[in-house]
Amino acid sequence: MIGLDASFSVIDTHTAGHPTRVILSGVPKLEGASVLEKRDDFRRRFDSLRGLLLHEPRGHAAMVGLVPVPSTVADYGAFFISSYVYLDMCGHGTIGLAKTLASTGQITREQGDSFTLETPAGVVTVGLVWSHDGALSAVRIRNVPSFIGIEGLKVQSEPFGTVSTDIVYGGMWYALVDADELGLSLTPENASRLMTLGSELKLAIKKSIAGDPRFSGAVPPSVLFYSDNAPGEATHFLVLESNKFDRSPCGTGTAARVAMLDRKGQLKPDGSYIAKNILGVPFIARVVERPDAAVVVEIEGMAHLVAHSTILLENSDPLRQGFLCK
């Protein structure tokens, strides 16, 4: 008989190509009154599970995990874990959670067209679009407020020299960079080069904003390269690390881009924006509220089922915490 140390029931989905692994069972009970406190308790006591569940050989560098937890202020609670950092908010992951809840029958057309979700960044509303046969056909996230941190920050980064970037919050911090100005092509064939250049630029930005209290304690901004295809439409490529990019257009990154376009008066009259990934799959975003010095953006997309499985850990496994190679 195989000696097992632990097992975890998971459902994997992808949202425009980027994975979400919803962890249904196996995580120990977490302490804390809020989702943020529970997330911090997980990080403090059970961070080794992150490598086990997300890294190779059971996952890969781009895997994102979602841990459902109880909430006292929303219908559901969840926090997000990734291969390198903990995320305060994740758009594609929230869409993946909605698909998972629909696939397990926890949400249905008869129960309504939305639910609330408490995340470490705050409570978001998740709208549900149902088809005539009762299947979930689209998800619309009313995100936390997005706002500008720094407009027109100049940094030095090889091989470009001086690069201009806008630092914008959309649930996480993002550095928005015009790929066309740098002569970069946002295509699948160019992904490795984009990750290398973007990670070097990310380091330069991190050094430039070090000590700025607005970013104290926050995950450093990831670089979101964009290339405008038409008015109100662009291709996105989000560089997370030298070996990791967001396959989706990035939900919270899209919210950040919308906030910047709104600031410059460059949105369509209806406030909408289409963000496509390098595979051509879109998110549709629109401004739905304008609180002081911020905008609330709704991001629409869809996730699809990949697998329903049980992750196992044998007692004898020498790579129980997983591994990542850059």
Tell me, yes or no, whether 161 lies in a domain: yes
Query: In terms of domains, do 186 and 259 share one?
Result: yes
Query: In terms of domains, do 83 and 206 share one?
Result: no
Query: In terms of domains, do 72 and 178 share one?
Result: no
pLDDT at 326: 83
Separation of alpha carbons 299 and 275, rounded Å: 10
DSSP state of 110: G
SS3 (DSSP) at 179: coil
pLDDT at 46: 96
Tell me, yes or no, whether 58 lies in a domain: yes
* Helix intervals (H) in the chain: 35-46, 48-54, 91-103, 191-209, 251-263
Q: Known catalytic residues?
A: 90, 250
pLDDT at 185: 98
Residue the block writes with tokens 């997309």: 301
pLDDT at 158: 87
The enclosing domain of 202 has a CATH number of: 3.10.310.10
- Tell me how many domains the chain contains: 2
Question: Beta strands 114-119 and 18-23: pairing type?
Answer: unpaired
SS3 (DSSP) at 53: helix
Around Cβ 115, how many Cβ atoms within 10 Å?
19
List the chain pLDDT tens, one digit each, 326 residues: 456 799 999 999 999 999 999 999 999 999 999 999 999 999 999 999 999 999 999 999 999 999 999 999 999 999 999 999 999 999 999 999 999 999 999 999 999 999 999 999 999 999 999 999 999 999 999 999 999 999 999 999 988 999 999 999 999 999 999 999 999 999 999 999 999 999 999 999 999 999 999 999 999 999 999 999 999 999 999 999 999 999 999 999 999 999 999 999 999 888 899 999 999 999 999 999 999 899 999 999 999 999 999 999 999 999 999 999 98
Tell me, yes or no, whether 324 lies in a domain: no
- CA-nearest of 198, 169, 187 to 276 is 187
Query: In terms of domains, do 167 and 137 share one?
Result: no
DSSP state of 55: S
Query: In terms of domains, do 213 and 280 share one?
Result: yes
Query: In terms of domains, do 81 and 159 share one?
Result: no
Q: Which domain holds residue 132?
A: 4-143+305-314
Per-residue burial over 42-55, b if 16 or more Cβ lie within 10 Å, else e, is beeeeeebbbbbbb
Query: In terms of domains, do 10 and 135 share one?
Result: yes
Query: In terms of domains, do 55 and 95 share one?
Result: yes
Cβ distance 291 to 145 under 8 Å?
Answer: yes
Query: In terms of domains, do 104 and 233 share one?
Result: no
Bond from prior residue into 318 cis (ω within 30 degrees of 0): no
C-alpha distance across the termini of the chain, in Å: 36
Query: In terms of domains, do 90 and 167 share one?
Result: no
pLDDT at 2: 56
pLDDT at 3: 64
pLDDT at 1: 43
Query: In terms of domains, do 59 and 75 share one?
Result: yes
Query: In terms of domains, do 161 and 136 share one?
Result: no
